């Protein structure tokens, strides 16, 4: 592919070389340098794979919001027991438990999944990276956890944008992460999951459905007609489909998380 670089366009030498190497069309690119000069960083950003960026949020489509609280005492005990035998780098997190529960629930409440024939595919959103985990309902909790961790490496690995363009990309951010990331372009996700550091929040809407995971919080809960200290996780759902099905979906996730052994059956 031949790079398209207008003759009158102001562009740095290194940026021009990268554009020629990648065959980029710079005709519509606005540089961030002085007088609109195109810099190396402008070209590197343009060359980044599209799947590394978050999908555009849809603000114009009508949607509804639901929330549900999950009592996490059993889940925390389950998590602690499972993690006893795992290395620190492999320990399962609460959001990963929600990922597993959502995958099982999505298979159970088929109305939420717009393309059930394509299986249960979940878009896992980690900071500025998004990719689809395919066949999520058929994968074990540990497998889902490892895939989510591989995707997280895209944000935490100490690489420069220019390294993403080199042949060592898989070495920089992990082969599994790269495979899942680029394969996601061909998959239809029935659900997007976003993790937040806030206790209670409904996610920006990524069609057709979005599940938000709030931060774990300690607060009083009523159990056996008495007020006791407890740990609660709030889940938010944003969708544009069937509110009754969405309610069943959230209730199924709640049931699985409050009885975590059921996720393994």
CATH number at residue 173: 3.30.559.10
Whether 164 and 48 have beta carbons less than 8 Å apart is answered as yes
Quick one: pLDDT at residue 45? 65
Same domain, yes or no, for 101 and 214?
Answer: yes
Q: Is position 56 within any domain?
A: no
Whether 19 and 162 have beta carbons less than 8 Å apart is answered as no
Q: Is position 31 within any domain?
A: yes
Count of structural domains within the chain: 2
Angle at 161 between CA 160 and CA 167, to 5 degrees: 90
How far apart are alpha carbons 201 and 136 in whole angstroms? 24
Q: Residue 42 is part of a domain; what is its CATH number?
A: 4.10.320.10
CA-to-CA dists, residue 170 to 129, 134, 177, 194, angstroms: 16, 20, 8, 25
Quick one: pLDDT at residue 175? 44
Q: Is position 75 within any domain?
A: yes
Peptide bond into 179 cis (omega under 30): no
Quick one: pLDDT at residue 142? 93
CA-closest candidate to residue 180, choices 151, 153, 137, 143: 151
**Mean pLDDT in order along the chain per 10 residues (265 residues):** 53 78 72 76 61 45 82 95 92 91 89 69 66 84 88 54 42 44 47 70 68 86 86 87 87 96 87
Q: Is position 115 within any domain?
A: yes
Tokens read off for 54: 């978050």
Quick one: pLDDT at residue 117? 58
Same domain, yes or no, for 203 and 105?
Answer: yes
Domain span holding position 25: 1-47
How far apart are alpha carbons 90 and 234 in whole angstroms? 25
Quick one: pLDDT at residue 199? 67
Quick one: pLDDT at residue 70? 94
Quick one: pLDDT at residue 242? 81
Same domain, yes or no, for 131 and 201?
Answer: yes
Same domain, yes or no, for 218 and 164?
Answer: yes
Q: What DSSP string describes 158-193?
A: ---HHHHTSTTHHHHH-HHHHHHHHHGGG---SEEE
Same domain, yes or no, for 112 and 202?
Answer: yes
Same domain, yes or no, for 75 and 37?
Answer: no
Give 77's contacts (C-beta < 8 A, 6+ positions apart). none
Same domain, yes or no, for 18 and 70?
Answer: no
Instruction: Note the pTM of the prediction, 2 decimals.
Output: 0.67
CA-closest candidate to residue 218, choices 243, 199, 201: 199
Write down the residue that tokens 């540089």 correspond to. Answer: 31
Quick one: pLDDT at residue 124? 73
Q: Is 65 helix (H, G, I), strand (E, B) or coil?
A: strand
Same domain, yes or no, for 104 and 232?
Answer: yes
Same domain, yes or no, for 110 and 15?
Answer: no
């Amino acid at each position: 592919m031949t790079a398209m670089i207008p003759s009158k366009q102001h562009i740095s030498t290194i940026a021009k070389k990268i554009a020629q190497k990648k065959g980029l069309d710079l005709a519509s690119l606005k540089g961030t340098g002085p007088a609109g000069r195109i810099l190396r960083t402008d070209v590197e950003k343009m060359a980044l794979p599209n799947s590394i960026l978050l999908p555009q949020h849809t603000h114009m489509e009508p949607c509804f919001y639901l929330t549900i609280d999950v009592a996490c005492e059993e889940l925390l005990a389950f998590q602690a027991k499972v993690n006893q035998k795992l290395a620190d780098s492999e320990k399962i997190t609460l959001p990963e438990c929600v990922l597993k529960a959502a995958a099982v629930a999505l298979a159970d409440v088929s109305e939420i999944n717009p393309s059930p024939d394509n299986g249960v595919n979940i878009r896992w959103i980690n900071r500025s990276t998004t990719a689809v985990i395919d066949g999520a309902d058929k994968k074990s909790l540990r497998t889902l956890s490892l895939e989510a961790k591989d995707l997280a490496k895209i944000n935490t690995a100490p690489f420069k944008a220019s390294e993403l363009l080199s042949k060592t990309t898989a070495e920089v951010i992990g082969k599994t992460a790269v495979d899942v990331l680029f394969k996601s372009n061909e998959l239809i996700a029935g659900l997007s999951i976003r993790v937040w550091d806030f206790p209670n929040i409904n996610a920006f809407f990524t069609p057709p459905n979005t599940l938000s995971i709030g931060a774990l919080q300690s607060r009083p809960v009523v159990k056996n007609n008495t007020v006791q200290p407890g740990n609660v996780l709030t889940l938010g759902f944003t969708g544009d489909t069937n509110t009754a099905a969405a309610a069943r979906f959230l209730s199924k996730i709640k049931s699985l998380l409050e009885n975590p052994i059921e996720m393994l059956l």
